[in-house]
Structure 1
Amino acid sequence: MIISMIVAYGKNWEIGLNNQMLWHISEDFKNFKQITSGHHILMGRKTFESIGKPLPNRTSLVLSNSGFEHEGVHTFNDVQEAFNFARKTAEEELFIIGGANIYKTLFPYVDKMYLSEVDFEGEADAFLEPIDFSTWDLVEQKDYEEITENGQVKSPAWKFKVWTKKD
């Protein structure tokens, strides 16, 4: 089973503020949906609570030490139990979707990264740990221009990159 992480982050590794995303990029949401559909997604309790419900056509796995329960969600207090559950259900690619502590804790297990690098600098209280890309191969990149509407930035510029761990 491939273990992947998918995350959008700003220029200073920002990923969130007050348990919310820092930007709204509809093309990035569509990308996330297309990539993760039909797969297991693994997240922390706070990330699940920010989403509010299990995402359609995905199996939601939540890591929590607080006895968290929610209908339609599989909760684990041990990451290996979550990985084993995904393996037993024949998952081919498990997606880690956040938040900051989950990315940091599970990064050593990651085989593939789907990264949205957003042209954003601003207030945040959740950050991705800086990544040393020297042990990764860039296998795909697509650049997106800023979208403005009535003189306002509707969507910042961003780059979507896929990285795989070097052998």
Structure 2
Amino acid sequence: MIIMIAAAAENNALGKDNNLLWHLPDDFKRFKQLTSGHHIIMGRKTFESFPKPLPNRTHIVITKQKDYHPEGCIVVGSMEEALSKVPPNEDTYIIGGGQIYELGMAFADKLDITKVHARFEADTFFPEINLHLWKMTENEFHPKDERHQYDFSFQTFVRK
């Protein structure tokens, strides 16, 4: 199954200047729990936003840069090539950024979204979810608290 996983604001904002716009520990925990042990597909800028590769995951980086070879990563030039590197019948996660989500939307079977209940100024956005094509199957609300500055919801969508 091809799963896109993202945290997006009410206005679909993802980030600005290659940084996240919020700090939600429970979202990080969920991301780690869901993606550990799987292939993760991302763009070069997303990969470079990490201090180091994420443990216990196979990194597939999509880039147009021919001489880009970060250690321990599979580097490809397209979403199709990225998906061809994933073993058959294995879940794989598309983890961003904005352009990669745009490319991945046509291939995805499922969307695991953390909807941050706020609006942000951003330069990177998640694509609009077309509710004629996607059905929400889960929506778990989490109010803000001492660890989380914003209300958020864990939402799951499956292709109709």
Fold shared per TM-score above 0.5: yes
Instruction: Choose which of 147, 153, 157 in structure 2 pairs with 1:159.
Output: 153
Alignment of structure 1 residues 80-159 onto 2, 5 Å: 80-87=80-87, 90=88, 92-148=90-146, 154-159=148-153
Which stretches in structure 2 are left out of the alignment for 5+ residues?
A: none
Matched, 1:36 2:30: no
Name the structure 2 match of 1:72. Answer: 72
Which stretches in structure 1 are left out of the alignment for 5+ residues?
A: none
In the TM superposition, residue 128 of structure 1 has moved relative to its aligned partner by 1.4
In the TM superposition, residue 91 of structure 1 has moved relative to its aligned partner by 5.6
Give 1 or 2 for the bigger CA radius of gyration. 1
State the distance in 1 between where 2:138 and 2:104 align: 23
State the distance in 2 between where 1:114 and 1:18 align: 23
Residue 21 of structure 1 aligns with an amino acid whose one-letter code is: L
TM-score, length basis structure 1: 0.90
TM-score, length basis structure 2: 0.94
Structure 2 counterpart SS, 1:61:
strand
Name the % identity: 38
Query: What CA RMSD, in Å, does the superposition of the two structures yield over aligned residues?
Result: 1.3
In the TM superposition, residue 36 of structure 1 has moved relative to its aligned partner by 0.5
State the distance in 2 between where 1:3 and 1:95 align: 6
In the TM superposition, residue 79 of structure 1 has moved relative to its aligned partner by 2.1
**Contact 1:86 1:94 (8 Å CA) reproduced:** yes
The aligned length equals 159
State the distance in 2 between where 1:157 and 1:133 align: 23
